[in-house]
Amino acid sequence: MDRRTNPYTPNAGAPPRFLAGRRTEVADFRVLLQRLTRGYTEQSMVVTGLRGVGKTVLLGEYHRIATEENWVAVETEVSKNTPFGPQMANLARRALLQVSPRARWGAKARAAAGVLKSFSLTVQPDGTLTGGLDVEPDFGRGDSGSLNDDLADVFEAVGEAAQDRERGVVFLFDEVQFLARAELEALIGAVHRTVRKQLPVTFAGAGLPQLPGLAGEAKSYAERLFKFPTIGELGEHAAEALEEPARAEGVTFDPAAVHEIVTYTEGYPYFIQEYGRAVWNIATGATVTHQDAVDARVTVEAELDESFFRARVQRSTQEEERYLRAMAELGPAAQKAADVAAVLGRSSEQVAPLRARLINKGLLYTPRYGYAKFTVPQFDRFMRRYMDLDGPAGT
């Protein structure tokens, strides 16, 4: 069919033409904002899941909902290379300027600007983060040098400014697992302050599945402040994700084609988008047939390897690749460190640093103590076709 009207979106973070499933996560977020607006407290949300399940897309949806609810949403992606303090100062400044434009600042907004200015100067003394904050710094708030206290001061001040304008502010963070422990702790502490003061400010995030554990370690009351919904395969909504974008273009699927594609993709959103795109380009009639689905398979696998899987191993050393391959030998489930080491003919202690590096890079996570699992769905299948166990990496 016409490639120009191909409705599928196999790209990281690309909003799908049809957002399948996720009804609960969307409804809960809207209720969260509406409750905070009315001065009630509610647990905020940190969505977790494997790569390619739609976390970034869901955060985008949260942004859209926030705007609809007359909230200000500021969004960022955490990376290990971006210093956290300056990043927070920048986000909070953007939030404040969106809550109310400089020309219309009242007393609360001016007070918030003062706190934000002293915070900005504390985390970035050269003053490059204070643009638009042409007020005197509020010495004594946001400038103690302890990130915990200062960030809480900033959230509180921004919250008061927002409340004054009958608005709210939500900070949206992607890849939350890359926050350092002290940063996560400060963020949780700041949310705690806004809950105690019943202010319309919150933080919602997304990240890999080890997050609830990390948050619990950072602050023991994290579990009470946050819900950690897990998203994954689309299950009964997988067929909709495939069929709805096509239907909008007047194209339908044979049930056998849907079955073939849902089975292969196991209902993972990214894989469905990739398959949808390939089968669309191959099909010739207004109905996608089972044969089209079978014919598209080679393209789908090649595209997935190229765009989704290979990029992830390419950041690994040969030793790390061998570890991943050994783990793949054991299958997709969580594997005991000792079992993976045994496949390599080594002891757990010998390969522990490798394992730690792979966790640190976000390729593995630890669902429970002593076990590790791939963060990418079907990664075991990929590693087995990518690499011979005894041969060199890559073919």
Closest to Mg ion by CB, 51 vs 237, is 51
Quick one: what does residue 53 bind among Mg ion, ligand ADP, none, with the CB cut-off 5 to 8 Å set by partner type?
ligand ADP
Residues 40-59 that bind ligand ADP (CB under 6 A): 49, 51-57
- Using the rule CB under 5 A, give the single segment among 35-43, 49-57, 194-202, 279-287 that binds Mg ion: 49-57
Residues 274-333 that bind ligand ADP (CB under 6 A): none
**Judged by CB under 5 A, how many residues of this single chain contact Mg ion?**
2
Which of residues 12, 27, 107, 182 is near ligand ADP by CB under 6 A?
12
Which of residues 56, 163, 177, 194 is near Mg ion by CB under 5 A?
56
**202 binds Mg ion per the rule CB under 5 A:** no
**9 binds Mg ion per the rule CB under 5 A:** no
Tokens found for residue 355: 């394992």
Which of residues 130, 194, 273, 289 is near ligand ADP by CB under 6 A?
273
Closest to ligand ADP by CB, 199 vs 261, is 261
Closest to ligand ADP by CB, 19 vs 257, is 19
Compute the least distance from the CB of residue 264 to ligand ADP, in Å: 15
| Spacing of C-alpha 57 from chain mean position | 8
Quick one: what does residue 241 bind among ligand ADP, Mg ion, none, with the CB cut-off 5 to 8 Å set by partner type?
ligand ADP
**209 binds ligand ADP per the rule CB under 6 A:** no
Which of residues 270, 323, 374, 379 is near ligand ADP by CB under 6 A?
270
**11 binds ligand ADP per the rule CB under 6 A:** yes
Q: Which residue is nearest to ligand ADP (CB)?
A: 54
**65 binds ligand ADP per the rule CB under 6 A:** no
Give the C-alpha separation, 60 to 347, whole Å: 44
Footprint on this chain of Mg ion (rule: CB under 5 A): 55-56
Footprint on this chain of ligand ADP (rule: CB under 6 A): 9-14, 16, 19-22, 49, 51-57, 241, 269-270, 273
